[in-house]
Structure formats: C-alpha cells, structure tokens
Amino acid sequence: MSEKQKTEKDWKTCLLPEEYRILREKGTELPFTGKYVHNNKKGMYVCAGCGSELFSSNAKFESGTGWPSFWEAVGKNVLTKEDNSHGMQRTEVLCKKCGGHLGHLFDDGPSPTGQRFCINSLALKFKEKKDE
Ligand code: FE
C-alpha cells in the first residue's frame, strides 16, 4: 500500500501515538524535548511516517528555538502550505510522499538560503552516516 492510500486507521496502527499526534494531527512537540534538537551527528533525517529523505545534517543549525532547525530540505521532498491556524500566519511543512506534518518554515534562517525549517523531532528518524 502506498503512503497516500493509507487511512488514518492505518497510520494509527503503524505510528507511535506521539508520532501520530504530530504527523497526522499537526501537533507540535514541546520545545527542547525532542531527541534531535542537539543532535550534531552526520547523517540524514528521514520521515518518521514513510522514510523519505527530508533533511541532511549538513543543513542543520542551532536556532535556539528548541526544535531541530534546517536551512534547506532535500531536493523537492517537502511541500509547503499556507497555515492560518491558531491565529497566526505561518507556512506549514509537509512530507511530499506521505503528506505527514513536519513543522513550519520561517524566513529568518541563516545564509545561504535565509530559510528556517522548524521541524518536530517526532516527525523524523535519524540515519547516521559513519565516516569511512
Ligand atoms: Fe513521509
């Protein structure tokens, strides 16, 4: 079954409850609670829902916000969408492959892009790349 065909019941079965709350219900983890906030290892962050490669450790930076932050996404593997919920105008970031909610995109990031992808650790799985 492809990720796009999965029902919410299917997602509930294959995700942990806390992952489901973020990816499928657009929740946000509390700042500084995610396991990847201070992860400085080299590797690839993939979608916790479908495994699609989303962010490289090369684009990770210390934003001070309490969420893993990146200045660019991998290729065209994420989608962005206008989000006017909670009385704010924000840009939502979603996994292109499975439609899972990842976090939000802001324009106050570092060079070279000036972008700040503010992403929930629970929406990600880290694949460490060992240097040979
Ligand atoms: Fe995904």
pLDDT tens-digit map of 23-82: 999 999 999 999 999 999 999 999 999 999 999 999 999 999 999 999 999 999 999 999
Degrees to nearest 5, angle at CA 39 with 116 and 122: 70
**Is 118 a known active-site residue?**
yes
Assess contact for 34 and 25: CB atoms under 8 A: no
Which residues have C-beta within 8 Å of that of residue 8, sequence separation ≥ 6? 24
Between the CA of 94 and the centroid of ligand 1 the distance, in Å, is: 8
Place 1 in a pLDDT band, splitting at 50, 70 and 90. Answer: confident
Q: What value does the mean pLDDT of the chain take? A: 96
- Alpha helices by DSSP H, listed for the chain, are 8-14, 17-23
At 130 the pLDDT is: 82
Assess contact for 42 and 9: CB atoms under 8 A: no
86-121 pLDDT tens trace: 999 999 999 999 999 999 999 999 999 999 999 999
Q: Kindly list the protein residues that place their beta carbon closer than 5 angstroms to ligand 1, a single-atom ion.
A: 47, 49-50, 52, 95, 97-98, 100
Place 132 in a pLDDT band, splitting at 50, 70 and 90. Answer: low
At 4 the pLDDT is: 82
HSE value, Cβ hemisphere, 13 Å, CA-based, for 99: 10
Between the CA of 52 and the centroid of ligand 1 the distance, in Å, is: 6
Question: Is 0.85 topped by the overall pTM?
Answer: yes
Cis link prior to 17 (omega < 30° from 0)?
no
Between the CA of 106 and the centroid of ligand 1 the distance, in Å, is: 20
User: Which whole-number Å values give the CA distances from 36 to 42, 44, 58, 60, 119, in the listed order?
Assistant: 12, 12, 14, 10, 10
The share of the chain scoring above pLDDT 90, in percent, equals: 94
DSSP letter (8 states) at residue 36: T
Between the CA of 102 and the centroid of ligand 1 the distance, in Å, is: 9
